């Protein structure tokens, strides 16, 4: 065997990364697929977004707008923001990675919660820093646990609010308490990918806190409620000094022109967003109640997905349920990689998908 020291070596931390594994999307031939593994909207994107995307076919030879200026203006107009404090990315995943690239180095630490989004750990390790996991309480981010994990080496705290895969959230009062307890040189990242789905009076995505602080940013995505996951488009709102740093390291054309056009049309189409919210409100409540009636423990969710647990179900496991559901066309997400080895995450899909999944799980639990 050739000595590995004689070939290029990746940076420290890279080989400690477990590659991200997306939700599966395959079922046996001839079986109708109900993909409920990736939290995609069952209603699809805005008709206006599809038209804008199609129109780009006539201009594929042109580079996109390197500053995403029209899209930033549209986002700013909808949310009442200053466009100079917005940066767009190839999905919010890219923006989370850029944050790690800009603000972490070997010896630094970054904190995320016990069942937080796996991309945080990947970005931290890729930057050569040390990930620190703060325990959760009842599958919910625990502010006290995070603050107890802060050291002089802490440079970033990641909070998914609502959290994926648990579906739980922190009230804004708790987010503000967390921020108040952090050192001024630690960056608080509020990942609000599912913000549009939340129907709680004590929730805020983070816009007001970002506007009043020098060490807070908020990330958002067009992949979920806007239905543009295939185009990979997200945005970040932050103080000017952070936007300036991220702008210096992002790719010069990091967002493609089709994503620009479709996202601009999507964010201005409130009717489609409202229909998606109404559908989710109805079927999130219905599915949660039905799964609970089957004897499953369901974590209360404010997103467009549910986390169900098979602990305490004699002779039945999440893996068994997954093997039962998939051949019948119902593809859910095993979440062992999130430290939840006996749980399944289910996206709120169409009415047909929700009813079918519940019926199939009933059959599984009765066999």
Instruction: Give dist(CA 157, CA 103) in Å, integer.
Output: 11
pLDDT in tens, 99-127: 999 999 999 999 999 999 999 999 999 99
Q: Decide the pairing of beta strands 234-237 and 297-299.
A: unpaired
The predicted model scores a pTM of: 0.94
279 pLDDT above the threshold of 70: yes
Work out the pLDDT band at 31, boundaries 50, 70, 90.
confident
Average pLDDT over residues 172-195: 98
Average pLDDT over residues 76-80: 97
Q: What is the pLDDT of residue 9?
A: 77
303 and 162 Cβ atoms separated by less than 8 Å: yes
Q: What is the pLDDT of residue 287?
A: 98
Could you tell me which residues are beta bridge partners of residue 137? 140
18 pLDDT above the threshold of 90: no
307 and 333 Cβ atoms separated by less than 8 Å: no
248 pLDDT above the threshold of 60: yes
Residue 201 tokens, joined = 């009076």
Q: What is the pLDDT of residue 20?
A: 63
100 and 127 Cβ atoms separated by less than 8 Å: yes
Provide the greatest CA pair distance for the chain: 62
Work out the pLDDT band at 65, boundaries 50, 70, 90.
very high
Work out the pLDDT band at 134, boundaries 50, 70, 90.
very high
Question: Across all residues in the chain, what is the average pLDDT?
Answer: 95
Average pLDDT over residues 196-224: 97
Instruction: Give dist(CA 347, CA 305) in Å, integer.
Output: 4
Residue 176 tokens, joined = 């503000």
128 and 261 Cβ atoms separated by less than 8 Å: no
Average pLDDT over residues 83-87: 98
For the chain, domains (ranges, CATH) are 22-45+271-366 (3.90.1150.10), 47-268 (3.40.640.10)
1 pLDDT above the threshold of 60: no
295 pLDDT above the threshold of 60: yes
Work out the pLDDT band at 353, boundaries 50, 70, 90.
very high
Q: What is the pLDDT of residue 6?
A: 73
């Amino acid at each position: 065997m050739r000595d590995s020291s004689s070939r290029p070596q990746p940076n420290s931390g890279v080989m400690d990364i477990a590659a991200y594994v997306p939700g599966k999307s395959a079922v046996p031939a001839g079986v109708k697929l109900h993909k409920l593994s990736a939290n995609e909207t069952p209603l699809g994107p805005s008709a206006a977004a599809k038209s804008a995307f199609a129109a780009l076919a006539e201009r594929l030879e042109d580079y996109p707008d390197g500053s995403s200026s029209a899209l930033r203006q549209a986002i700013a107009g909808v949310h009442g923001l200053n466009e100079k404090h917005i940066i767009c990315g190839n999905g919010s995943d890219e923006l989370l990675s850029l944050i790690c690239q800009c603000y972490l180095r070997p010896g630094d630490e970054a904190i995320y919660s016990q069942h937080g989004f796996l991309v945080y750990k990947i970005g931290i390790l890729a930057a050569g820093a040390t990930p620190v996991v703060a325990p959760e309480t009842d599958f919910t981010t625990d502010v006290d646990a995070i603050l107890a994990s802060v050291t002089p080496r802490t440079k970033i705290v990641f909070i998914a609010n609502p959290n994926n895969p648990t579906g739980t959230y922190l009230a804004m009062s708790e987010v503000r308490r967390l921020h108040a307890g952090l050192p001024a040189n630690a960056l608080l990242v509020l990942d609000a990918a599912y913000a549009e789905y939340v129907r709680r009076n004590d929730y805020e995505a983070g816009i007001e806190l970002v506007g009043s602080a020098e060490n807070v940013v908020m990330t958002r995505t067009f992949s979920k409620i806007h239905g543009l996951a295939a185009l990979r488009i997200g945005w970040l709102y932050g103080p000017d000094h952070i936007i300036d740093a991220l702008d210096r390291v992002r790719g010069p054309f990091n967002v493609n022109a089709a994503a620009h056009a479709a996202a601009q049309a999507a964010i201005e189409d409130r009717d489609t967003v409202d229909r998606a919210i109404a559908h989710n409100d109805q079927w999130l409540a219905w599915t949660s109640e039905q799964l609970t009636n089957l004897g499953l423990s369901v974590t209360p969710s404010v997103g467009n997905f549910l986390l169900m647990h098979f602990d305490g179900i004699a002779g039945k496991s999440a893996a068994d349920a997954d093997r039962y559901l998939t051949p019948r066309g119902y593809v859910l997400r095993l979440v062992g990689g999130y430290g939840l080895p006996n749980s399944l995450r289910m996206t709120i899909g169409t009415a047909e998908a929700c009813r079918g999944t519940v019926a199939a799980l009933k059959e599984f639990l009765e066999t």
